[in-house]
Amino acid sequence: MTVGNVVHVEVSGLTMAYDGRVVQRDLDFTIGRGDIFVIMGGSGCGKSTLLRHLVGLQQPTAGDIRYNGASFLQGSPEQRASLLRRFGVMYQQGALWSSMTLAENVALALEQYTTLSPAEIRELASLKLALVGLAGFEDYYPSEISGGMQKRAGLARAMALDPEILFFDEPSAGLDPISSRRLDELILELRESLGATIVIVTHELPSIFSIGTNGIFMDAERKTIIARGNPSRLLAECEDPKVREFLTRGQHR
């Protein structure tokens, strides 16, 4: 797949603030179609906050976000709703409804946004679960499966409407190294099979280097982006001490 040749998402002049306190200011970056775009930075720099702005859960103090050239923030409610249906979001802990089976969790968006019959919805939910390696687990409840399986079920739900863009907030958090690697491999497979653009908030170096094709590094003190580009290239070329410290943690070489 050719990555990044066509701009899918454009963020310009974005400023995020809470109660008048600026979190990040003047954010400018683009995400190419088919990118696996990594939002990096130290704790408290606003990574998850940026993700919430990108999916419309929070409104910026200034700036704009454009998808396929159309403003997400300035569009009509109908236009925003249309864009939102092209998003899939996987939250940190999977955020599955504990009182629903895995199939019922995946079926929620299909029931709300399609005119498919119950039988068709059940079939599609089973297909999405199979895509993430959970065939046969349709009638299990979240409490009956492992943390890694819950993450994959959350991914199946995010994929329910065949989104153009998938947003992941710390998808590997809390997973053992083997489960984390399997999830990374699954993300790569889904990017190839769905042709989706993927935006990930993560601090996990193995994931950043193994799947990231592009990204930004935000700094909590300077309150803006201090580096951007392919993570492996940043490791080799970026001289900013904060970026280098972040990318050379632990045993990575």
Res 93: pLDDT: 63
Res 197: pLDDT: 95
Range of the domain at 80: 7-86+163-247
Per the structure, how many domains does the chain have? 2
**One domain for residues 42 and 144:** no
Count the Cβ atoms, other than its own, within 10 Å of residue 26: 14
Question: Tell me: the pLDDT tens digits for 84-120?
Answer: 888 999 877 667 899 999 999 999 989 988 899 999 9
**One domain for residues 117 and 230:** no
**One domain for residues 32 and 74:** yes
Is 169 part of any domain?
yes
Is 92 part of any domain?
no
Res 2: pLDDT: 44
Domain boundary among 162, 178, 207: 162
**One domain for residues 136 and 157:** yes
More confident residue, 176 or 123: 123
Give the DSSP per-residue string, 144-194.
GS-HHHHHHHHHHHHTTT--SEEEEESTTTT--HHHHHHHHHHHHHHHHHH
Statement: residue 253 has pLDDT above 60: no
Res 9: pLDDT: 96
Q: What is the pTM assigned to this prediction?
A: 0.89
**One domain for residues 42 and 80:** yes
Statement: residue 4 has pLDDT above 70: no
**One domain for residues 236 and 134:** no
Is 158 part of any domain?
yes
Res 3: pLDDT: 53
Question: Tell me: the pLDDT tens digits for 146-181?
Answer: 888 898 899 899 989 889 999 999 888 878 888 888
Residue 194 pLDDT grade (very low, low, confident, very high; cuts 50, 70, 90): confident
Pairing between β-strand 21-32 and β-strand 7-18 as defined by DSSP bridges: antiparallel
Report, as an integer, the average pLDDT of 21-39.
Answer: 96
**One domain for residues 174 and 243:** yes
Is 145 part of any domain?
yes
**One domain for residues 122 and 222:** no
Residue 1 pLDDT grade (very low, low, confident, very high; cuts 50, 70, 90): very low
In 22-63, where does DSSP find H-type helix?
A: 47-54
Phi-psi region of 210 (alpha: psi -120 to 50; beta: other; left: phi over 0): alpha
Question: Tell me: the pLDDT tens digits for 207-224?
Answer: 999 999 999 999 999 999
The sign of the dihedral angle between the CA atoms of 36, 55, 33, 86 is: positive
Res 22: pLDDT: 95
Q: H or E stretch including 77? A: helix 77-84
Q: What percent of the chain has pLDDT over 90?
A: 65
